[in-house]
Structure formats: structure tokens, C-alpha cells
Structure 1
Amino acid sequence: MRRRFYILLILLGSVLHVSAGLTSEEQTLRDSIFNVYHSMPADTMRVEYLKSMYQQNIRADWSIELADSALQAARVLGNGRLELMLCHEAFRYSQYRGDLQEMERRLAVLKECCYRQKSYEYYFSAWEAVLDLQCSRGNIEYAILQAKQMKADAEELGYEKGICTSYIALGSAYGYSEQYAEGAEAYKEALKCPTISTREKLDTYWGLSGCYIGLKDEENAVIILNQEKEILEKLAGAKPTNYPLYRDRLLDNQLRFCQLYAKIKEIPKLKSHLLIAKKHYTENVFLPYYFQYHLSWADYYHLVQDWDACFPELDLVLERSKGMQPWYEQNVRKTKAQYLWDAGRQEDALEAYKEIVQIGDSLIQYFREQQTETVQSNYRIKKELMKQAENENKVRWLTFASAMVLFIIILVFTVRTLYFRSLLRKDEAETRAASELARKANHMKDIFLKNIVDDIKVPLDSVVHLSKLLSVERDTLSIEQRTEYSSSITVNAERLIILVNNVLDLSRLESGMMRFDVQSYDVVQLCRDAVYMAGMQEGNLATVSFEHDVESLMLRIDSSRFHKLMTSMFTAKDAVTIHCKLIVTGGEQEIKLVVTGSPLSASSPDRLRQIQHDINRLFIEIFHGSYTIESEETCITVCFPLA
């Protein structure tokens, strides 16, 4: 009784809070619904009525009162079917508003109800929706781990439809992280599931086509898109009233074709599908389709170099996405900056890139706070569920207790309490350790970001300043000054490109997102190729000699990354002599590359050189090797195991 009393107090408080912000019409509608509800007999029909009213008014903020009241009534009646449906409807309320924290709380309640009723469809579909929103917020690695956990849970339950849903969620997460090959494999596994529905098949085709587009696999992408198109046209043509229901999906299908042909620069095919998409397009279309429609037109105008039509399309997307999807808005800004550069408007492009860097810092901080909030929310939810489970166990034990087994019940309760307390202490210790590790990592990342922003800002300011001088005061400058300024712009731009590429490579290596093409190569030939490539580099004045004890030796390595490693040690702006020697040691179990005379080995505070060392070291350690620098002897030693 006391528990029900507290629940009623909470519901009353939420009702008063929501009611305070209602208009007179909304207040009248809400009161009339509850008046009809209270006038009906306390049975299933009354709960069904409240559920129906909630579904009709789900867009209104106060509709959650209807769902919560109906859910409480269903629990009192002991109607498991209605309780399950209403738990899912309450989840849909938070999903409709994009409230991730509330979605996760509702998901925990839905999970408990589904497991109790042994009906899992609502739970797995809701879990997929949460992971999709996590990906859109940038928590992609977390979503991948959760999708794998979803598959494990579904296999443990023997629920085939849940396994299919987990593959779709995993493919979606891989797609967000641009791991298109892994995403395509996950979607293919989903299509093999015998329980896959038409809606799930359409979602799978959508994701699979996106992976093929990312891989630039035109043949397979067209096959999948045509299969999706065939299903959509069949559904839309089944009844005259069906077309408005599938208009957005038909538009999205055509925009996928546009995305593919824009990537491979097939201008006639791109325009053909844009004209078809135009027939399905309306101004009140679903927002992601609105973005993609105008971006596709911008891609087309970019390819045909119609700049007057291109940039207004991008501005429409930026205007609608502002403040709603910051990461998406940032990507559109990058596209616009690139197109400004391609249009010959270098000054505007550089200003846009500068703004992107500034916004990027704030976005990183925003997503870091979001991830911290997600971890804390998950911990609070788990802790609350543990308390709830403990209370329910206590109630069950006390219900079946008797005077003869009172001592046993107390003993069991004490043991269980100690067990839960030990688990809580363990979790608390792990949480403290994880928080401390995260704090140290954030501190190191802040230092790194501060330094790298300075390294980017100085050459970027130089490029902008000198560009303005060349454009504004060109007539007053001498030929020597113009040549000097142009040379300085080129040097600083090249330094920026090298710095950005190295930072991206370092980030991928540290996060484990770098992909390698590992095959068996002749390491002697690879070194010769590296010497040749270094000699061909513009501005490289180094003379490289290569000495080796063996004529041929096979090594499993990524040749492209190996060439970058070697050429970084064979490059110098001054005329120097660099010597490289290949030695086989340890009974042909290890190879050693000793490079002397390389400027890279000299001690220097240069940020580019430090980043290059970090990239080289991480790459070699991935292949279980070692990277040693001896600054006093200007020597770099690289070791690779052969086995």
C-alpha cells in the first residue's frame, strides 16, 4: 500500500508540472479524456481507451500522462499484454523527442517487462533505436559493443528475430564509423535470417546500399538499390492511398542513386535520378531526406561547375541543420569549404576551414561531456535496477516465509545483502579507476589539442595574411616580394597538409581504426623502392645508400605504410648522406634496419617530427616490432620479427 501511495504521489506531481504549461484548449482536452476514463468501469476497456487517446495525441507533451496512467492501471489489472504494449508506447514518446537519457531509462523498464512476459520483440526493436541515436551522437564504439551484446543476448534467449535486429544495428554502427566492409557483412547476415520482415528487409537494403556506396562498388550498390526500389514501388502501388506513405522512402531510394553516381562522377546518371527524385520531393519531407536532396543537387552543380547554383543548395542545408545536428553541420561546412576552394575562392575557403577548426574544438568537448553523461546514466540505471531486484526478492521471501524457516530466511537475506554490497564496492572501485583513467586521458588530450591548435594556427594565419597582401596590395609589391609571399604560402600550406594527415594517421593508430592491407613482400625490394621514392620527392636533397646482407627476404607487412615509414627517414631539406643497412639477426628470426645520418633522428622540439616518431613507433608496434632513436649517434633502429 505504501509503495502504491508513493507512485500516486509521483504521478500527481508530474501531472501538476505538465498541466502548468498547457493551453486552455489542451487543458480542456486532457481533462475531458480523464473524465471519460474515470467514468468507465475499472477493466481492460478503460485501459484500451486511455492507450488509444495517447496514440492520437502523442505529439503533445502532456500525452505521457495518459501512457503512464494506462500503464499503472494495466499493472493493477495484471494484464501483461497491455503492460508490455504501454511500456513500448512510453518508450516511443521519448524516442519521438530524441531524449536519449529518457530512452535508456524507458528501455530498462521495457526490458524487465519483456523478460517477465517472455516476449522480446518490443525490447530488441527499442534497443536498436537507442543504438542508432547513440551513433548519431558520436558514441559509435559504444554502439558497436552494444550491438554485439544484443546478438549475444538474443542467442542466449534463442530469439531469431533479435539476432536479425542485432545484425542490422551492428551494420548501422559500422556504417557510421565508415567501416563499410564490416557493415556490408553484418547486413548480409541479417538478410540470411529466415524471420526478417519486409520493413527490416527495406532497412537492411538501405544500410547495405550505403556500405556499397562507401566502398564505391557501383555494381552491387545498383543491384541492392533496384531491389529496394522494386519492393517500395510494389508497396506504394498496392493501393492509391499508399503512395503518400512511401513517398519519402522512394525519394530516399533515388537520393541513394544520386549519392552513388556523385561519388563516381557519372554526371548524366546523377542528373537523371535527381529529376526522378524531384517528382517525389515536397517541402515538408522528412528532415534527413531534405538534407540529402539539396546536397545531391549541390554535388551535381559542383561537378558541372555551376557555382551560382551550388552554394545556395549548401546554404539551405546549413540553415536547416544549424543547432540540430552539430556533427552533420560540421561535415556540410567541410564540403562547402572544399567547393569554395574548387571554385577558386581560396580566401573564402581558408576562412571556412578556420571556422571549422574552431567549431571542431567545441564539438569535441561537447561529445566528451555527452559520453561522460551516458556512462553516469547507465551506472545510475543499473544501480536502481539492482535495488529494485533486491526489494522484489525481499518481498518474495517474506511472502513465503513461515515461523519454522524464519532463521533460514534471515540468513539467506544476510548473505545476499553482503554479496550485493561486495558487488557494489567492486563496481564502485572499478568506476573510480575508470574515472581516474578517463581524467588522465582527457588531460593529455587537452595538452595535445592545445599544442596542435597552435601548430595549425601559426601557418594558417600566415597563409591568410599573405594571401590578403597578394590580393589587396598586389600592385604595390615587387616581383621578388610576390615570389617570396607565394613561396611562403606554399610552404605553410604543405606543412598544414602534412600536419593534418599525420594527426589523422596518429588518431587512427591510437584508436585502432587504422586498416592495413597485410601481404607477403620482399623486404629488400621494398627498401629499394623506398630509396627510389625518396629520391623522387620534390625538395628532397638527401643521398641515400642501401646495404643488405641478403638478396631476398619475405615479410608480411602493409607495403604502403612501410614505404611511408622508410621515406620519412630518407627525407631531408639539406644535402646530407643517409645510410640504411638491413641485417638478419636471431637465426633468421628477426630483421633489423639501421638508418644513420637521417635528420629525423636528430633531437628537436619540432611538433611534426615528434608526431612522425609516434606514427612510426605505433605502426611498428602493431606488427610486434620495435623503434629506437639514438639522437647522439643520429641513428634509428627498426626491428621486425619474421615469424
Structure 2
Amino acid sequence: MNIFATYAVNDNTNTTQHETKNFMRNLLKYLIFHILCFGCLSPLSAGEGSPAEANHDARLNEVVDAFHSSMGFDYLTKEEGEAIKIDSILNYLESTKQYRTYFELERILIKSYLFRGEIRLAIVWSEQMYSKASVLSHALGTALALNAIGEVYSYTGRNKEAGAAHVQALEMFDQMHGEEIHVRMLLVELIEYNLRIRNFHQAAHFMTRLNRFPTDKLSGQEQAVRHVFNAYCQLFNGSVKIARQHLDAVEPLKEELVPGISQHLLIANAMYWERTGEYEKSLATYDAFFDADNAEINSSLYKEVLQNRADLLVKMGRKEEAYEQYGEVFSYIKSSFEKNYPKEIDQLTTRFQADQLTYQNERDRLFSYRLYLGGIVVCTLTLLLFLYLSWRKIFRLKESKRSQEVMIQKAERAIQKKNMFLSNMSHEVRTPLNAIVGFSAVLASDDDSFDEDSRKEFCEIIKVNSFQLLKLINDILDFSDFESDNITFNVRPYDAVKLCKEATETVSASRKLEVELRFDTELPELMIETDDARLRQVLINILVNATKFTKEGSIVLKLELSDRNTAFFSVTDTGCGIPLEKQGVIFERFEKLNDFAQGTGLGLSICQLIVTHMRGRIWVDSNYTQGARFCFTHPLKYKPKTEGAVS
């Protein structure tokens, strides 16, 4: 299990004490490996059920557990495979029907072939493993075989087939119980595979799933692998700070890592330094990878690191060294894979020659590229400017059209309101004038058929209609002043309790009431800053409206404090009430609850304008259903328009 391979990541800061520690640990691994080999060989000649056989099974399980704890990064070297006599062990496991261990060991063997670059042997063994698992209907064996086949596809560049095999294997593992270690190992392979094909979304998906496993259930090497691959994902995502945190988390676990994991740790660190722009540190880390005794244990990874180092040299501007490095990549692939993949070698040779030609022509094309790029930039900016100016013109046309439509609508509404106003005025002015003119003519005549009481009644009618006509003219003038912002307010402190009493007395004296009109309050006095004439106008308008629509019951004006800074007025009647659909528009100009009742429809609009000017609010209480209730608030302290907004 690559136990006697030297575990040393050459670093300029290593001390003699650290090297001694590594030597003692590797020596111990070497002795354990030979004990394992001896223990694996001796049971083959022992009798069935012998203690040696039980000891052999236990040691095989240790081999599998070592592979699991390293997340598949610890594997058999060629020398180890020959020393163990792997064929004999597999025959023994098959004869004793220990199929779980049999398929686990075949899985380790195929992984080892792939790491060592013996791709054809890996293909043969993976096909054999899949066939045997299918014949035996062994679920775990089939899943492990699919996992191995996916790796073979990945190593041979058949990425589509590799992804399908890996996903199918993961689905099978998910259907089993107690196979979490295989799920974790496969998730690591899926992350590495998706990063290789630049499918970062899928890599992040599988990384998220791997991160869900509790840390206390993971070995130290498993934790290290998870941190390293988290760092990979974060680096490809551009989150270098988070990647650094994951890499730092591996440092305490560094001493117990197998070479395969240590290699990935070095690569992740090199990528980190490259992403942060510290190319020299990145190059030094890649050099540390190549200086290690175990640098070539994973041929595929070794080839990728050669390529990465060459790309880094290009970024650093050391192009001559880069192309020497590309030559090393080419030579390594040719020497390692020529027998297995002559077509792949031809393709890589063509690419290498193309790279050389690119390098030779680069200086000649550089000036042309700059001119070409400059032309594209100028054309793009010109096009963007044209699009922007066109958009502005279209936007302005749309805005102009919308403004015209709004103005047309306002004009139409103004015409409608003007017509409504003229219609209302012609009716409202004619009615009291007719009464005044008619009864004045009767009084001025010499007709003696009318007694004194009748003449007094005629005078009263003339008086009432005169007041009605005067109120109509005053409402029109007030509304006109508000519309032209020509209204003035004489604000001073005034007792609201006294003002409410005066308003109720005025209404009671000026109208023949058939219902009770009263004023209720628990306040002996309430000083507020207001225009007493305007506030009295609001109260009288609301009270008069209530008398028009209340034929029985009562009308109650109430004054209280809604808070320490605000007075609350309400007028409650037991009349016919206001329908819900009318409550939202009752304060609009010329709006009347009853078109046949006297009035211009301006009274409540004027009330709203006055209350709003005083920084209050007026509304109809929709929860009151026994009639109508008008409510409005008034601040105790008046705030001019520049000091506060309308509430």
C-alpha cells in the first residue's frame, strides 16, 4: 500500500530533526509492509479454518482500511504487488467466497494500475471486475466496478462516459447502507473530475455534499483531503481567502499524510500562490513537488503538474523556460504512454509543434493583434455610444408621449369638473335666489291676504336662503384661495373646548333640529395653536352635514387627546350613514352623498384642506355602522410647512 515509499515533501525550511523523524517513520512502515507480505503469503498454504487463515483475513482488512482511510490516495506500487502475489490472494478470496474483500482488492489494484500509468492493465481488470460482479449480482462489486470504469474513462480522456459511470456508481452506493466511506471516496473523484472538465457548478454540488459528513467520523487523512479539495473549489471560484483557511487547516495533519495527498496539498498551495500573484512562491512549490522522491507515483497528476508549471512560466514571461517545460511534458507523455496510446501521442506532438510555431510567430503577430484589438474596442465604443443615444431619444419620445397622455387626461378631468361645477352652481345659486326673489316680491306687494305670521315666515325663508347663498359664495372663494395657494391662516393659542361649545351652539341656533346635538369631553380646557375661525369652519361644516342626514337620534361632537401632542375630534351621528364605496371619495370636490340635497359638494373638501394645512388628518370611521362618524386630528403645537411634513 505504498507503505515503504518515502514520505517527504522537500522544503527549504526542513530541519535535520524533521528528516530524522521522517526516516524513523518510513522505516517503521517498511517493516510493517514486510510483515503484511509475510502474513498474506503464509495463509495460502494453511489448512481451512486455521489460525493463520483468520490472521490473513484480518491483515487483508487492514490493507483495505488503509486504502479507505487515505480516500484512495494510498495504493500498491509495482514492487508491492509482486511481493504480495496479488493473483494468489485474489484466487484465495474467490475460493472462500469473500467477495466483498475480493472486489475491494480489485478496486485497489485497478487504481494502482492507473496511478502507475499501466492503463491497458487497468482496462482489462475493470472489465473483468464488472463482468464477475454482474454474474454474481453483487451490488457492492458492481458499484466498485463502475467506479473503477469511470476512472479508466477519465484517464483515457473519455470524459462523457467517465461522468456517466461515476454518477451511476454514486446512485448505487446511495441505495446501500453502511457504505459512507465509498460515497466519500467517489465524491472526491467526482469533484476532481468536474474540476478537470471545468464544470465548477457540479464540483461545488459534490463538494457541498462531502462537507455534510461530520468531522468526528473522518480520519485525519480524510479531513486533509476534504480541506484540500475545498481549497481547489474555492480557488477555481476566486475565493482565495477561504482557500487559504482550508490549506492552513491541513498543516496540523501534514505529518500523517500519505504521498498522494501530500502531492495534492502542494499543488493546491502552488495554485493559491499563483492566484494571489506570487508567482515565485508558486514556482518554488511546484519545484518542491518535483524534488520529492515520490513525485512520479501518480503519472497522470505528474503530467498535469508539468503542464501547470509550464503555463506558470508563460505567465511569468519566462517563455524560453516554458517551452523547455512543454518539451518535458511531451517527452514524459511519449515515454509513458506511447505503447498504449500512439494516437494520443500524435495529437500531443502536433500540439507541441503548434506551440513552438506560435512562439516563433508571436512577436510578429503582436503588433497586428494590438491594432485589431484597438479597432474592435473603437468599434464597440462607437456602437455603444450609438445605442445609448438611440435609447435616450426613444426614452425621451416615450416620456413626451406619456406626459402628453397625462396632460390630456388632466385636461379631460378639468373639463368634466368645470362642467360639473357650472351645473352645480347653476342649481345651487338659482334655488336660494328664486326663494329670495319670490318671497321678497310677495312682501313688497300690497296684497293684504297674508297675515303677520305669514310675513314673518316669509322673512325667515328669505333669511335662511340668504345665509345659504352666502355660504355657497364663501365656499367657492375659500376653495379658490386654496387652489391658488392664496389662503392665509392666523395661528394663535386657543381653547379647543370653548371653540367646540361655540360651534355646537351656532349650529343649534341657526337650524331647526329634530335630533339631540351635544358636545362631550372630559377635558376642562385644551389649548392648541390654531386659526380658530378655520377650525370653527371645519366643525360647523361637519356638524351641518350631520344635521342634513340625521332625522332621529343624536349628533355628538367629542374632543379628547389621542396622545400628549395631538387633539382628536369626532362627530358621530345616527343618520343614514355613508356607503363604503363613497367613503373613499367623499372628500373630493363636488362629491355629494345625495345629489338632491342642498350644497356644492365643496364643504368636506375645504375641511380636508384646512386640516391638512394644520398638519392634521381627516377620515371617515368605516368601523362605525350606526350612522356616520367623521374624525380628524390636530397637533397642539403648529409646525410651519418648512419644519414638518403633512402627517
Larger radius of gyration: 2
Shorter-normalised TM range: 0.3 to 0.5
Question: Relative contact order (C-alpha < 8 Å, sep 6+): which is higher?
Answer: 2
Structure with the bigger percentage of helix: 1
In the superposition, the TM-score normalised over structure 2's length comes to: 0.44
